Structures are given as C-alpha cells and as structure tokens.
Chain A
Amino acid sequence: DAGITQSPRHKVTETGTPVTLRCHQTENHRYMYWYRQDPGHGLRLIHYSYGVKDTDKGEVSDGYSVSRSKTEDFLLTLESATSSQTSVYFCAISVIAGGPVTEQFFGPGTRLTVL
C-alpha cells in the first residue's frame, strides 16, 4: 500500500459538465501520474507531475487538464466531459527502486461514466 487514495471512486455525469478527480498520497512522492484504462488499450498516460506546479502531457492529454498545488494532491479535470471519456482512471506514484530506476504504485481507480 503506497498510501494513494482517489476520490470519488465512482461518478456518473452528463456530457458537457466539468468533472474533477482527486488523487491524494501520504508519502511525499515527487512524481504522480494519471492514466486511463480502456478495454483493448491497457493503460494510457494522460498527464504526469514531477513536482508542485510542474506537470507535463502524456499520450492522451486532449480534453484533460491537471493541477498540483500541493505535493500530496494531484487533480485531473475534464473541462467539458464527453462520452469518449467514459473510462476507469488510475492515479499512480513513482518510488525510487535503486539508481535511476523507479517503480510505480497505483491507486484503487475511479470509474467515470459520461452519459
């Protein structure tokens, strides 16, 4: 258990509404990530953060924004949700495993349905 929580765990929303998902960690890890998981696609990186106010895009960042004002919290925002953003969203953190190598640990996920 890497001390990662996500909220909410489930959410149903309507097309066009804004949605914010929260990831919280308790161990002050520098790197945090947001992935989405869809059948047949595995996990795809949306955005990641390498420190407070330091973020960068992943491979599927269109339609998403992130913010990190505190080390422990990493927020993912869908500015105007679309049905294609129905997915399971996972937050992750990186832990140094030795030298330049890291391991990633995952939160429990948020299931988002956009109607």
Chain B
Amino acid sequence: AQSVTQPDIHITVSEGASLELRCNYSYGATPYLFWYVQSPGQGLQLLLKYFSGDTLVQGIKGFEAEFKRSQSSFNLRKPSVHWSDAAEYFCAVGSGTYKYIFGTGTRLKVLA
C-alpha cells in the first residue's frame, strides 16, 4: 500500500542552524513528491515538488529537497533556519490518479 512516513513528530533547532526533515515513502511506481508548509492557523503552502529529472530540487524560502530512490526518501533541507520557519511541514506523494497521500507532519520549533 502507498504510504508516507515522517518519523519526526517534533524538531527543535536554533536559529541559524541547518535543518533536515525526513520523509520516507512507499509507492510502486515513480512517485511525484511534495513538501508543504503550514503556519499556525493557516492553510498549506507548497514549498517544492519533484516529478522527474534532477533529484535535488529547489523550492521557495530557501528550502531544497533530495529524492533518493534507493532509500525511498525525499528529505527537506535548509542550510540556515530563520525564526519565521517555525511551522508544521508535510510531505506528500501523488498517486498519479489526482490523489495525494500525506504524512503526519513534523512540527518545527526555532530557538532564538
């Protein structure tokens, strides 16, 4: 069955430190992968996406993610975190039938 796992429920980092949020997926075919961010009380905003080609994708707000087929992973990274990055982050896989499967989310806290 298709699934998305975000193993870290909460992550705390200091402002200026680097960040990596983990995402593992289970999907039989070539996946379409997404990262969304949700600020408190807001909807979800698309950060970046992977469809094909270069496995390192760049997104908005200085985020990037790397698709590793051998590890079934699509981890989100940022070299230097800002206090405004505090939010919840969701990984999702597109099933190819216009439906997505979402992970359970990782809540990021940023220490000043």
Q: How far is the CB of B55 from chain A (nearest CB, A)?
A: 16
Q: How far is the CB of B109 from chain A (nearest CB, A)?
A: 16
Interface size of B by Cβ–Cβ distance < 8 Å? Answer: 23
Chain B residue contacts of A99, Cβ below 8 A: 51
Chain B residue contacts of A43, Cβ below 8 A: 44, 90, 102
Bound together, the chains give a CA A53 to CA B5 distance in angstroms of: 34
Which of A61-69, A77-85, A105-113 binds B? A105-113
Chain B residue contacts of A102, Cβ below 8 A: 94, 98
Residues of B34-66 contacting chain A, CB below 8 A: 34, 36, 42-46, 49, 51
Decide: B43 and A106 in contact? CB cutoff 8 A. yes
Interface size of A by Cβ–Cβ distance < 8 Å? Answer: 26
Question: Can you list 13 A-B pairs, Cβ within 8 angstroms, ordered by A?
Answer: A31-B98, A41-B104, A42-B90, A43-B44, A44-B102, A50-B98, A97-B49, A101-B32, A101-B51, A103-B49, A106-B44, A107-B43, A108-B42
Interface residues of B (CB under 8 A from A): 6, 9, 32, 34, 36, 42-46, 49, 51, 90, 92, 94, 96, 98-100, 102-105
Interface residues of A (CB under 8 A from B): 31, 35, 40-45, 48, 50, 58, 90, 94, 97-109
